[in-house]
Chain A
Amino acid sequence: MSGLEGLYQQIILDHSKARHGDGPLEHAVAEHHEYNPTCGDELTMRIRLDDAGERIEQLAWQGDGCSISMASASALVDLMAGRTLEEAGERIDAFRAMLRSQGAGEPDEELLEDAIAFHGVSKYVMRVKCAMLSWVALEACLTEARAARA
């Protein structure tokens, strides 16, 4: 089952159990709920910024879903804490491009770090939304935070 192990890499299975960032967040400046009606997966992302309003001081999520969506949210938290809004946006774009690649190309490890483990998901069209769930939610939070800052 080499195909399956390409999808469910150990780091993904580990993240799906570790669930970094799973929990509530006080004093959030932005919050966004995402729902995938085809499988019922749902997730609420919350972020808090530093005093200057430039960096993600902390992010956290609450949700329920398949191992891919939960692992992806966990890996997202590891990658994004402390990033500026611009850095975060750049990484969301890179992650989305990787998931749209249908397995082609080499993901940017410098930019995405452990999240490159989700490159294998891009070959499974029906699972791309699972991996994107938390990233889309964070993207909406960033938009909301920018609007509040402006």
Chain B
Amino acid sequence: MKKTISIILTLFFFLLMKANAQTADKTSDGFALPQAGKVFSFPRDHGSHDDFKIEWWYITGHLFGDDGRRFGFQATFFRSAGAPANSTNANNPDFGADKLFLAHMALLDVKSGKFVHEQRLNRDGWDAFSATNGLNIRNGNWSLRMTDTNRETIDLRGPLDGETGFQLSLQPRKPLVVFGKNSVSRKAADPTASSYYLTFPRLQADGTVKFNSETSHVHGEAWMDHEISSSQLGTGEVGWDWCCLQFKDGREIMAYRMRRKDGSQDDFSTLAWVSTNGVVTQLPSAEFKMQTQRTWSSPLTGANYPISMKVQTRDPQSGLPVNFLLEPLAENQEITGGGNLAYWEGACRIRDDAGKEIGSAYLELTGYAGNLNKSLR
């Protein structure tokens, strides 16, 4: 069974890897491609864009319990289309064969270092869907809904098993930002390998976390991405390192480094600063580095992950070079659902050069449990 899941996961990752575009606005199989100058309209654009092949809503955050406990969480909802939405395939509304929904939930109890994660896969239908008129996604008993479109309040529910899970109310503390140039976030040399990249860089998170049947009332901060694409990444890459940093001074960084076969950083890697008032400053690949500080070997997959990284870049506010050390809150934060498509998605704290904790981060490391390209061929 796990093998089957890995095959389906491959489908998702494949969509990220392979550019299939033939024209500027459509892929060869008829899916839409991001267009420059796109004007977003909300709440509709928080919802699903079924004319695109793949789309995901990604939320991570750091939670602090009234009882002194600390947690890290991740919730990702993927949508993947098997055929264009206007396909003539007769689709069953309850058991669809045109869309798949994959979701990952993970929860870290920092004190014990215990990391629980789960994966869910469902077809479009009675148990999984993504609304097209606003944010309303469900996958089994996991859900993500915008309950108040004026205040943009979001409700996230992720029960991992009978004893562990979370239920959070997320309230944006900063306005939504759009990464990329002129609404399009480029990922590779191929101009069609791109996405619409919408982000709430800082949300107030309140709710409850149940861990081993013990419930904690929690408060904290979260990060939410919504990315819409039909083909995102180019060939020749073996994986990527991505991170979001939330500083105590109210600013954020989003960075991704596309790793090539020879270990180099792809030119389309990006680092973006978000100012306290939500202004995005995007730096090119040449202006940042992610250097491995410490690695951890997974006993399950054997993958050797660089779980501690130093991000070296320039502070657009001061113009000075800065270094941020990402230090994991626990070593084992590996999501193993997909065999050699396993990845590490971990809660980290941020330290400056003086060793002072200056914020919280999430770090995503893919392509370490085997060459992604190889596993797809």
Answer yes or no: do A and B interact.
Answer: no
